[in-house]
Structure 1
């Protein structure tokens, strides 16, 4: 089968388009014919060596959608989707024509999504769902989403709306704010860090109950925007991993910081999440993704380079 594979890390030149043997599922596993696979920044970082626990040689790729062709009889022929920390790190991932994984690691693909759409959602939506669940977001929550225009931010807005939360979206550029307002969301512009608290308090008197910083840059400033007993969820940090946190102000508010890391969850756990919110697509409650850049797997090396350079398109590899 065709696949992308790397046998060393450090630069993208390590990634090759190769012919390898089709995998054989073990007991309790399925063989999935991959119809579409998402390309996430973490896949690029994996090849670059940012995840020291990755075993080599390795086929990268976490997100996928496809059809089960071998495995338990009740799953054969089923259209499925999936993601998880094991794929592309501890076992071969989705940037190939076929992959094997636990039979419990696949979820039924929503009928409303085609394969490319389903393959674009795994990491962003499981990250957003985990952040909302672990931050205890419900219909009584005043939620601030920082970086609301990104993939995870957009997923968070859509899921939080279903949960009934009161939502405030924060973005950097006026055109981003205008686009979010056109979708019915209240929003603010991010400018000076010292102004975040007053901007949020002007909308949510007393502060936001939950703040989800998807950017990694607003954690210190978010404390002033937090309501008593509030939660700040984070998924990123500066390159050196350190911030100056106003701990005195945080503990006086009874606040806490919640780290959100999708790489803590294997494919079986992620399949459970996908089943939980996947039904919302078929119910017409979640927006269908558009603007995807579908490209042949054979052009994957070029797409990896573009994502590494900061290209904004959501790339879907088609084996």
Structure 2
């Protein structure tokens, strides 16, 4: 089979499209023919050596959608999605390949409303978003501010709306805020950090947000000054050096809490169960992912370089 593989970390130079043996599933596993696989920023960071638990040689890739071609009879021919979980693409081979082997319990049925490419876009962003919403206790009526406008931010907005939360998004770039507004999303352009409390209150009828999801990692200090009493801040990213200066005084005076969200802490089985819940939201009308480009697996190395250079394009690889 054709597969991406890297032999060393720290640079993209060792990432190549190679011909490798098709893996064989064990008794408790399935072999999935990959029809589409998402390219996440974490896939690129993985090859660049940002994850200390990565072992090589390794096939990267965290999210897939495809068809079961070997495994239990009841799953043969089924359209499934999966991935994202602990070790997948890091310490065990991932899915940027024509075939992938995963445990039988690590796949879920794809909702009929999604294409393979759309399903392959959902894993990391939507599982991260669901984890953030669950652990920060977002429900109907919760005032939620999402900082950022990338894939995780958009997934958080979609799932929060499905729950009936009151949602606003904040982004640094004026044109991005305007594009979101044109789609009917309540959004505003971030100004200076000290202005965030006032900006947020303007969007929640002079109330502070009860929950803030910071998908950038750079607005934690401002979020602490903005969130309501007993509020929750979900953090899914950090600067490269990992450090943010915050006021512990402001946090405890608010009775606030900071929640770290990391999809790599969940098993493949856990993520499959989360995909089932996400699929249920799509089944009742949540909008399908859009705005991505599809590239053949033969263009994957160039796509990795493009993302590494700062491109924000959403990319789906088609083996």
Find the counterpart in structure 2 of residue 174 from structure 1.
174
Structure 2 partner of 1:221: 222
- Separation (CA, whole Å) in 2 of partners of 1:261 and 1:56: 22
Question: Cα distance, 1:170 vs. partner?
Answer: 0.7
1:78 matched residue in structure 2: 78
Q: Give the corresponding residue for 1:123.
A: 124
Tell whether 2:76 aligns with 1:91: no
Structure 1 residue 102 corresponds to structure 2 residue 103? yes
Q: CA deviation at 1:151?
A: 0.6
Is 1:81–1:108's contact at 8 Å kept on the other side of the alignment?
yes
Tell me, yes or no, if structure 1 residue 19 matches structure 2 residue 4.
no
Residue 81 of structure 2 aligns to a residue whose secondary structure is strand
Q: Deviations over 1:174-216 (max 9, x none)?
A: 2222222233332222010011111112333341100000011
Structure 1 residue 122: Cα displacement: 0.7
Partners of 1:72 and 1:30 lie apart in 2 by 7
Secondary structure in structure 2 of the residue aligned to 1:228: coil
- TM-aligned CA deviation for residue 85 of structure 1: 2.6
Q: Do residues 153 (structure 1) and 150 (structure 2) align?
A: no
For normalisation by structure 2, the TM-score amounts to 0.97
Which SS does the other structure have where 1:208 is aligned? coil
Aligned-residue offset at 1:267: 1.3
- Superposition pairs of residues 228-267 of structure 1, within 5 angstroms: 228-267=229-268
Gaps of 5+ in 2: none
Q: Which residue does the alignment assign to 2:35?
A: 35
Match of 2:277 in 1: 276
Q: Could you list the per-position Cα deviations for residues 264-287 of structure 1 after superposition, in whole angstroms to 9, with x for gaps in the alignment?
A: 112111000000111222222x21
Q: Answer yes or no: is the 8 Å Cα contact 1:229–1:256 preserved in 2.
A: yes
1:276-309, Cα deviation, whole Å (9 max, x unpaired): 111222222x212223221111111111100101
Shift of 1:8: 1.1
Instruction: Give the TM-score of the pair, scaled to structure 1.
Output: 0.97
| Structure 1 gaps, min length 5 | none
CA distance in 2, matches of 1:206, 1:254: 17
2:292 is the alignment partner of 1:292: yes
- Aligned to 2:225, the other structure's residue is in SS state helix
The answer as to whether partners of 1:11 and 1:48 remain within 8 angstroms in 2 is yes
CA distance in 2, matches of 1:291, 1:47: 25
CA offsets 1:49-71 (integer angstroms, 9 cap, x no match): 11121121110000000000111
Query: 3-state SS of the aligned residue for 2:73?
Result: coil
Aligned twin of 2:210? 209
Structure 1 residue 141 corresponds to structure 2 residue 146:
no
Question: Higher mean Cα deviation, 34-43 or 290-299?
Answer: 290-299
Deviation at 1:13, TM superposition (A): 0.7
SS in 1 for 2:21: coil
RMSD: 1.1
CA distances 1:106-134 after superposition (whole Å, capped 9, x unpaired): 01011111111111111001011110001
Q: Deviations over 1:200-237 (max 9, x none)?
A: 12333341100000011100011111101000010111
Q: Provide the residue aligned with 1:62 in structure 2.
A: 62
